[in-house]
Amino acid sequence: MLRKIWAIASINIYTTFTDRNLLIIMIVTPLILATIISLAFGNMGGSSPITNIPVAIVNLDTPPVEGSQVVDSSGSLVSAFIPAINEANTDTVALGACDAVQRADSDETTANTYLTDLTEATLLDDPAAAKAGVDQGDYAAAVIIPAGFSESISYTQDDPAITPLAIEVYGDSAQPISAGIIRSIVEGFTNQLLTGQITIASTIGTMIDRARQNPAFGLGFAAAAGNGSFQPDFACAFTPGFNTIQIEQQSVTGKQADFNPLVVFGSAQAVFFALFTANGVAASIIEERRQWTLQRMVVSPTPRVLILTGKLIATFLVVMLQLAFLFIGFTVIGSLLEGEVKSVWGNDWLAIIGLILATSAATAGVGMFTAAIGKTAEQANWIGSIVSMLMGILGGAFFAVGVLGNFEWVTRLSVVRWGSEGFTKLASGQGDIGLNLVFLALIGMALFAVSLTVFARRQDI
Amino acid sequence: MSKQALVEVRGLKKTFKRKDGTVVEAVKGIDLDIYRGEVFSLLGPNGAGKSTTISMMSGLLTPTEGDACIGGFSITNQPLEAKKLLGVVPQEIALYPTLTARQNLEFFGRLYGLHGRELAASVDETLEFIDLRDRQKDRVDTFSGGMKRRVNIGVGLLHKPQLVYMDEPTVGVDPQSRRRILDTVIRLQQDRKMTVLYTTHLMEESQELSNRVGIIDHGQIIALGTVGELIQKVGEEDRLVFNVGEQPISEALLARFQTEVPGVTKATYETVELKPVAGMEESAELVVEKRSTGQMVVVRSGQVKDGTIVVYAKRGRKALPDLLRIANEMGVDVLSVEVREPDLEAVFLHLTGRALRD
Domain ranges of chain A: 2-46+259-458, 53-257
- A415-428 per-position pLDDT tens digit: 888 888 888 888 87
Q: How many CB atoms lie within 10 A of CB A218?
A: 15
pLDDT of res. A256: 41
Distance between CA A342 and CA A338 in Å, rounded?
9
pLDDT of res. B12: 93
Mean pLDDT, to the nearest integer, of A207-226? 77
Mean pLDDT, to the nearest integer, of B287-316? 67
Between B257 and A172, where is the model more confident? B257
pLDDT of res. A89: 44
Do B82 and B74 meet the contact criterion of CB atoms below 8 Å apart? yes
Q: How many CB atoms lie within 10 A of CB B208?
A: 14
- A254-264 per-position pLDDT tens digit: 344 445 778 88
Distance between CA A357 and CA A370 in Å, rounded?
20
Mean pLDDT, to the nearest integer, of B315-334? 91
Asked which of A221-235, A424-438, B49-63, B135-149 is least confident by mean pLDDT, the reply is A221-235
pLDDT of res. A138: 85
CB-closest option in B81, B83, B113 to A299? B83
Neighbouring-strand partners of residue A91: none
The answer to whether residue A304 neighbours chain B at the CB level (below 8 Å) is: no
Q: What is the pTM of this model?
A: 0.64
Backbone angles phi, psi at A206, to 5 degrees: -65, -40
Count, residues in chain A? 461
The answer to whether residue A456 neighbours chain B at the CB level (below 8 Å) is: no
pLDDT of res. B23: 87
Mean pLDDT, to the nearest integer, of A171-185? 78
- Output the 3-class SS for chain A: CHHHHHHHHHHHHHHHHCCHHHHHHHHHHHHHHHHHHHHHHCCCCCCCCCCCEEEEEEECCCCCCCCCCCCCHHHHHHHHHCHHHHHHCCCCCCCHHHHHHHHHHHCCCCHHHHHHHHEEEEEECCHHHHHHHHHCCCCCEEEEECCCHHHHCCCCCCCCCCCCCCCEEEECCCCHHHHHHHHHHHHHHHHHHHHHHHHHHHHHHHHHHHHHHCHHHHHHHHHHHHHCCCCCCCHHHHCCCCCHHHHHHHHHHHHHHHCCHHHHHHHHHHHHHHHHHHHHHHHHHHHHHHCCHHHHHHCCCCCHHHHHHHHHHHHHHHHHHHHHHHHHHHHHHHHHHHCCCCCCCCCCHHHHHHHHHHHHHHHHHHHHHHHHHCCCHHHHHHHHHHHHHHHHHHCCCCCCHHHHHHHHHHHHHCHHHHHHHHHHHHHCCCCCCHHHHHHHHHHHHHHHHHHHHHHHHHCCC
Cβ pair A15:B99 closer than 8 A = yes
Mean pLDDT, to the nearest integer, of A398-402? 69
Which chain B residue shows the shortest CA-CA distance from A303?
B80
Distance between CA B275 and CA B196 in Å, rounded?
43
Q: How many CB atoms lie within 10 A of CB B307?
A: 18
Instruction: Output the CA–CA distances (angstroms, integers) from residue A81 to A106, A137, A356, in the order listed.
Output: 18, 19, 39
pLDDT of res. B70: 93
Cβ pair B94:A293 closer than 8 A = yes
Nearest-Cα distance to chain A for B64, in Å, is: 15
pLDDT of res. A179: 80
Contacts of residue A7, Cβ cutoff 8 Å, sequence gap at least 6: A310, B107, B110, B111
Which of chain B's residues have a Cβ under 8 Å away from the Cβ of A460?
A: none
CB-closest option in B88, B93, B98 to A299? B88
Chain B residues with CB within 8 Å of chain A CB: 58-60, 79-81, 83-84, 86, 88, 90, 92-99, 107-108, 110-113, 115, 155
Does residue A102 carry a pLDDT above 60?
no
Asked which of A137-141, A392-396, B125-129 is least confident by mean pLDDT, the reply is A392-396
CB-closest option in B80, B96, B155 to A301? B80
pLDDT of res. B95: 94
pLDDT of res. A404: 66
Distance between CA A13 and CA A22 in Å, rounded?
12
Tally C-beta pairs within 8 A across A and B. Answer: 63
Do A93 and A78 meet the contact criterion of CB atoms below 8 Å apart? no
Cβ pair B59:A299 closer than 8 A = yes
Mean pLDDT, to the nearest integer, of A153-168? 73
Cβ pair A291:B94 closer than 8 A = yes
> Which of A4, A294, A300, A307 should we substitute to test contact with B (largest number of B Cβ atoms within 10 Å)?
A300
pLDDT of res. A244: 37
pLDDT of res. A103: 44
Cα B177 off chain centre by: 17
Which of chain A's residues have a Cβ under 8 Å away from the Cβ of B59?
A: 298-299
pLDDT of res. B154: 93
Between A130 and A95, where is the model more confident? A130
Which of chain A's residues have a Cβ under 8 Å away from the Cβ of B113?
A: 4, 301
Cα A323 off chain centre by: 21
Distance between CA B135 and CA B158 in Å, rounded?
17
Q: How confident is the model at residue A67 (pLDDT cuts 50, 70, 90)?
A: low
Cβ pair B59:A7 closer than 8 A = no
Between A415-427 and A377-394, two packed helices, what is the crossing angle to 10 degrees? 40
Cβ pair A4:B58 closer than 8 A = no
Cβ pair A300:B60 closer than 8 A = no
- B185-240 per-position pLDDT tens digit: 999 888 889 999 999 888 888 888 899 999 998 899 988 998 888 887 766 778 89
Distance between CA A427 and CA A440 in Å, rounded?
18
Nearest-Cα distance to chain A for B98, in Å, is: 7
Which chain A residue shows the shortest CA-CA distance from B75?
A299
Which chain A residue shows the shortest CA-CA distance from B113?
A4
* Sheet bearing B264-273, strands edge to edge: B264-273, B305-313, B238-245, B336-340
> Which of A4, A17, A22, A296 should we substitute to test contact with B (largest number of B Cβ atoms within 10 Å)?
A296
> Which of B64, B111, B152, B162 should we substitute to test contact with A (largest number of A Cβ atoms within 10 Å)?
B111
CB-closest option in B84, B94, B107 to A292? B94
Mean pLDDT of chain B: 86
- A2-60 per-position pLDDT tens digit: 889 999 999 989 988 888 888 888 888 888 888 887 777 665 444 445 667 889 999 88
Does residue B171 carry a pLDDT above 70?
yes
Instruction: Output the CA–CA distances (angstroms, integers) from residue A115 to A38, A142, A168, A253, A438, in the order listed.
Output: 27, 15, 19, 12, 36
The answer to whether residue A300 neighbours chain B at the CB level (below 8 Å) is: yes
Between A388 and A242, where is the model more confident? A388
Nearest-Cα distance to chain A for B167, in Å, is: 13
Backbone dihedral region for residue A162 (phi beyond 0: left; psi -120 to 50: alpha; all else: beta): beta
Q: What percent of chain A has pLDDT over 90?
A: 9
Do A261 and A37 meet the contact criterion of CB atoms below 8 Å apart? yes
Span(s) in chain B for CATH 3.30.70:
238-341
Q: Name the nearest CA neighbour of A266 among A422, A34, A44, A42.
A: A34
Mean pLDDT, to the nearest integer, of A277-288? 83
Q: How many CB atoms lie within 10 A of CB B145?
A: 13
Q: Name the nearest CA neighbour of B51 among B201, B189, B208.
A: B201
Q: What percent of chain B has pLDDT over 90?
A: 45
Neighbouring-strand partners of residue A295: none
Q: Name the nearest CA neighbour of A159 among A146, A145, A147, A148.
A: A148
Which of chain A's residues have a Cβ under 8 Å away from the Cβ of B80?
A: 301, 303
Burial of A109 (0-12, 13-18, 19+ CB in 10 A): exposed
Q: Name the nearest CA neighbour of B63 among B15, B101, B116.
A: B15
Span(s) in chain B for CATH 3.40.50.300:
5-233
Does residue A93 carry a pLDDT above 80?
no
Q: Quick one: CA torsion of B287, B290, B295, B300, rounded to 10 degrees?
A: -30
- CATH 1.10.3470 applies to domain B238-341: no
Distance between CA B218 and CA B223 in Å, rounded?
13
- A108-124 per-position pLDDT tens digit: 444 455 566 778 888 88
Fold of B5-233: Rossmann fold (3.40.50)
Do A271 and A419 meet the contact criterion of CB atoms below 8 Å apart? yes
Does residue B89 carry a pLDDT above 90?
yes
Does residue A62 carry a pLDDT above 80?
yes
Which chain A residue shows the shortest CA-CA distance from B56?
A299
Instruction: Please tell me whether residue B227 adopts helix, strand or coil conformation.
Output: helix
Mean pLDDT, to the nearest integer, of B244-257? 89
Which of chain B's residues have a Cβ under 8 Å away from the Cβ of A4?
A: 110-111, 113
Q: Name the nearest CA neighbour of A245 among A97, A131, A106, A45.
A: A106
Nearest-Cα distance to chain B for A301, in Å, is: 5
DSSP B19: T
Cα B43 off chain centre by: 4
Does residue B13 carry a pLDDT above 90?
yes
Distance between CA B297 and CA B283 in Å, rounded?
13
Distance between CA A238 and CA A4 in Å, rounded?
70
